[in-house]
Structure 1
Amino acid sequence: MKTYVLAGGCFWCLDAVYRKMRGVTAVESGYTGGGYPNPDYYTVCNGTTGHAEAVTVTFDETVIPSEVILDVFFATHDPTTLNRQGYDVGTQYRSAMFYTDEQQRQEFVDAIGRAQEQWDDPIVTEVTRASTWYPAEDIHQDFYAKQPYNGYCQVIINPKLAKARKYYSQWLAA
């Protein structure tokens, strides 16, 4: 099993996409990359903690290649906007990849190189050493499945899921 820590805007989006992929064994929404101890949703949303909304994605590489996990990351958010994803604005919504070792850092750098071919503007995704992980509150775990008719889910997450289905259908669970 392998685990990546990825931030691509609101964690609800990445959580929803990765939970639908074959070979993904666990997804957890949380906060990382900041200096404030024990952050919660409200302190992170105020934009002063330095944390990003992120997910840990644990997957079985014998089922789904790490390259696919990373390519899906770049296909389902805009890595060219600094501290912003659509209507979500602030450093907590930045595009970031948090590595645990040099091999992971290189995988992330390679993924940025692959992804850049798909984007006209430069990718601004930060690649940073992983720091303390703080799980988000229960309401944020598997948010899409719990509230599929929520307006945010309908307007923001559904198009990302449609894009994942369009380009990565062979990797989606039945």
Structure 2
Amino acid sequence: MKTFVLGGGCFWCLDAVYQKTKGVTSVVSGYTGGHVRNPDYYDVCSGMTGHAEVVAVTFDEDTIPADIVLDMFFAMHDPTTLNRQGYDVGTQYRSSMFYSTTEEKILFEEAILRNQELWSKPIVTEVVRLPEFYEAEAVHQNYYAKYPGQGYCQVIINPKLAKARKYYSSWLRA
């Protein structure tokens, strides 16, 4: 098993896509990259903690290659916008990849180079060593599955799921 910690805007969006991905065994929403210990959602949303909303995606490489997990990441958010994804604005929504090993750092850097050709603007995704990861509150775990009718899910997450189905249908569960 391998775990990648990735930030691409609101963690609910990445969580929704990866929860439906074959070979993914766990998706945990959380916070990392900042200077405040044990932050909560309201602390992070203030923009004053330095933390990003992220997901820790654990997957079986025998089922889904790491490159596919990373390519999905770049397809599910706009990695060319600094500190924003759509209407979500602030450093907590930055595009980020947090590595634990040199091997992961290399995989992340290669994924940026591979995916740059899909974007007309430069990718601004930060690649930094993973500091402490703080699990988000229970309400944020598997959010889309619990609240699919909620407005944000309908307007923001559903189009991302449709895009995932269009480009990665063979890697998604029904």
Note whether the superposition's TM-score is higher than 0.5.
Answer: yes
* 1:29 counterpart SS class: strand
Aligned to 1:100: 100
Aligned to 2:130: 130
Q: Using the TM superposition, give the Cα deviation of residue 173 of structure 1 relative to its aligned residue in structure 2, in angstroms.
A: 1.3
Q: Measure, in 1, the Cα distance between the counterparts of 2:20 and 2:137.
A: 21
Q: Measure, in 1, the Cα distance between the counterparts of 2:25 and 2:78.
A: 25
Aligned to 1:79: 79
Q: Which runs of 5+ in 1 are unaligned?
A: none
Q: Measure, in 2, the Cα distance between the counterparts of 1:167 and 1:36.
A: 38
Aligned to 1:59: 59
What amino acid does structure 2 have at the position aligned with 1:5? Answer: V
Q: Using the TM superposition, give the Cα deviation of residue 72 of structure 1 relative to its aligned residue in structure 2, in angstroms.
A: 0.1
Once the two structures are superposed, residues 49-104 of structure 1 have per-residue CA deviations (whole angstroms, 9 ceiling, x without a partner) of 00000000000000000000000000000000000000000000000000001100
TM-score, structure 2 length as denominator? 0.99
Asked whether 1:150 is paired with 2:150, we answer yes
Aligned to 2:18: 18
Q: Measure, in 1, the Cα distance between the counterparts of 2:115 and 2:95.
A: 13
Q: Measure, in 1, the Cα distance between the counterparts of 2:67 and 2:168.
A: 12
* Count of residue pairs the alignment pairs up: 174
Residue pairs, 1:157-172, within 5 angstroms: 157-172=157-172
Aligned to 1:88: 88
What amino acid does structure 2 have at the position aligned with 1:106? Answer: I
* 1:118 counterpart SS class: coil
Q: Measure, in 1, the Cα distance between the counterparts of 2:75 and 2:17.
A: 11
Aligned to 1:40: 40
Q: Measure, in 1, the Cα distance between the counterparts of 2:150 and 2:173.
A: 23
Q: Measure, in 1, the Cα distance between the counterparts of 2:28 and 2:169.
A: 22
Which aligned segments of 4 or more residues in structure 1 are displaced greater than 3 angstroms? none
TM-score, structure 1 length as denominator? 0.99
Q: Measure, in 1, the Cα distance between the counterparts of 2:105 and 2:156.
A: 29
Q: Measure, in 1, the Cα distance between the counterparts of 2:18 and 2:108.
A: 17
Identity fraction in percent: 69
* 1:42 counterpart SS class: helix
Q: Measure, in 1, the Cα distance between the counterparts of 2:155 and 2:75.
A: 17
Q: Using the TM superposition, give the Cα deviation of residue 25 of structure 1 relative to its aligned residue in structure 2, in angstroms.
A: 0.2
